[in-house]
Amino acid sequence: MSRASRLLALLQQLRRRRSPVSGPTLAKELGVSIRTLYRDIATLQEQGADIQGEPGLGYVLRPGFTLPPLMFSVDEIEALVLGSRWVAARSDARLGAAAENAVAKIRAVLPASLRDSVDAATSTVPFVEPPEPVRVDVADLRAAIRAEHKITIAYRDGGRTETRRTIWPISIGVFERVLVVAAFCELRQDYRGFRLDRIVALEPSGTRYPRKRAVMVKEFREREMARSTARN
């Protein structure tokens, strides 16, 4: 492995982690000596990578240092293209357009030898009918999820009975023709899934809900897994 490739591989290992990782662990993963690892970390720091830590404590790469698209392999490019096609076919129009724009930006900066891989991706997604139309702006819902804010919705169930609820949204699930927001419902005092095509109106509150979204997502997944196991 060339030194340039080794430095990129080190950046990739650091980028994958959110918590500090020890020098010996990194050295073992990269197949280099601990002395070489320390030299490589010093080189990356000199080049602007915000790597914090020291021997004995571990190292972490702070956000803001961008890896060049040149390091994408053909398989990684294909995964990005396939993912963007899946999102474009099944998500809301705004997110679908964002997925296509992201691939276009990546394609524009790739070397010619890899650029053709974007157009010649061997995998594709099956054709599906357009998702059920959504009345509300899904961007407002995504913003509330990122900010961990409560929202109030007017929701119409399958029997067309309409209720007004305050929910704590944590994630949006994309199914074949339906988008579903997973949320804690204050009315039911439990987690619920709400189809976006049945949300008649949405009002952002600007008020944070009292729990961390990451904790709630973990709790929601554990409950869903338990329910699935019980059914089987």
Domain ranges of the chain: 3-61, 69-119, 138-231
| Cα–Cα dist 131/92, whole Å | 8
Average pLDDT over residues 198-203: 95
Mean of pLDDT values over 128-141: 81
* Mean pLDDT to the nearest integer, 50-57: 84
Residue 45 has pLDDT above 70, yes or no: yes
Q: In the prediction, which pLDDT does 127 show?
A: 61
Whether 116 has a pLDDT exceeding 90, the answer reads no
Nearest-angstrom CA–CA distance, 92 and 29: 40
Cα separation, 42 vs 51, whole angstroms: 9
Instruction: Round the CA-based radius of gyration of the chain to a whole number and report it.
Output: 22
Q: Evaluate whether 61 touches 14 at the Cβ level (below 8 Å).
A: yes
Q: What integer is the mean pLDDT of 163-190?
A: 91
Task: In whole angstroms, give the CA distance from residue 4 to residue 15.
Answer: 17
Contact 133, 197 (CB under 8 A): yes
Q: How confident is the model at residue 113 (pLDDT cuts 50, 70, 90)?
A: low
Please state which of the ranges 1-15, 32-46, 217-231 shows the lowest mean pLDDT.
Answer: 1-15
CATH class of 3-61: mainly alpha
pLDDT at 128 (0 to 100): 61
Residues 42, 50 contacting (CB under 8 angstroms): no
pTM for the complete prediction? 0.59
**Predicted local confidence at residue 34, as pLDDT:** 92
Tell me the C-alpha distance between 192 and 144, whole Å. 17
pLDDT of residue 217: 93
For 138-231, which CATH class? mainly beta
Q: Given a cut of 70, is residue 22 above it in pLDDT?
A: yes
Q: Kindly state the percentage of the chain with pLDDT values over 90.
A: 41
Instruction: Give the separation between CA 127 and CA 67, rounded to whole angstroms.
Output: 33
